[in-house]
Amino acid sequence: MKTRVLFNLIVRRYGLWIAALMIVLVTVWVVRSRRPDALDWQFVRAFGIRLPMRYGIHGIDVSRHNDRIDWARVRQMEADGVRLQFVFIKATEGATLADKHFEKNWREAKKSAMRRGAYHFYHPTRDPLKQADNFIRNVDLSTGDFAPVVDFEVVNGQSDETIVNGLRLWLETIEAHYNIRPIIYTNGNLYRRYIKGNLDEYPLWIADYSAKHLRSYNADKLYLWQHNQSGWVQGIRGQVDFNVFVMDEDRMQDICL
């Protein structure tokens, strides 16, 4: 009723067309003000960081830098309704290195009933086929696990062509072995220079600690967002990377075996 009275007052004072335009502008403002551009950030004291509460599936990623992990405590932790549901674990790096805690982390993460994924830290100066073989030798995936991840963070002075072609060879080799398209993890700058327009067919996991929204990335392929690298989790020493799954929950199977 109040809305109708307001509309009639505007019509009498400004005319029908002006009134209609004003109503449209107000409607747009209301819709935009309710959009989750701010992502419903909420500081969760137990985790020591703000979390984008628009998303319901939260997780972490770990490596040997996190030392020995008490996985039972990780899984039991819950704060402000948030429980960690998935973890990505570093498996390999370059052509020969394997993370010294991977086997235990991989085994214990499954026991704790967290959805798990394994990632490879990619070096553009190393042979992509040898790097793929390193990952394959060390990682056995099971139904429900995430697709393999290539962690692309460094360029090591290599040309754009070398980097893109090398990544593509690694990705294609891994896909042929595991029969699922791998996930690319990278930051915003590297995504825009090397991934966008070259490897758009692959699922994306983006590290962006300043984003208020994620519109600058391919919405059809963006599944995971690393939004903070300074969280705290019981059972893990030191700071931890935090992530969220940004698709609808039923899209999780797109990137899992």
- Whether the CB-CB separation of 148 and 141 falls below 8 Å is answered with yes
61 is catalytic: yes
Burial grade of 53 (CB within 10 A; 0-12, 13-18, 19 or more): middle
Q: How far is CA 16 from CA 2, 49, 169, 221, in A?
A: 18, 50, 62, 44
Q: Which residues contact 191 (CB under 8 A, 6 or more apart)?
A: 204, 206, 217
State both tokens at 233: 């989790």
- What is the Cα 130 distance to its own chain's centre? 26
Is residue 153 annotated as part of the catalytic site, yes or no? yes
DSSP letter assigned to residue 23? H
Catalytic residue among 153, 220, 249, 254: 153
Phi and psi at residue 254, to the nearest 5°: -60, -30
Active site residues: 61, 153
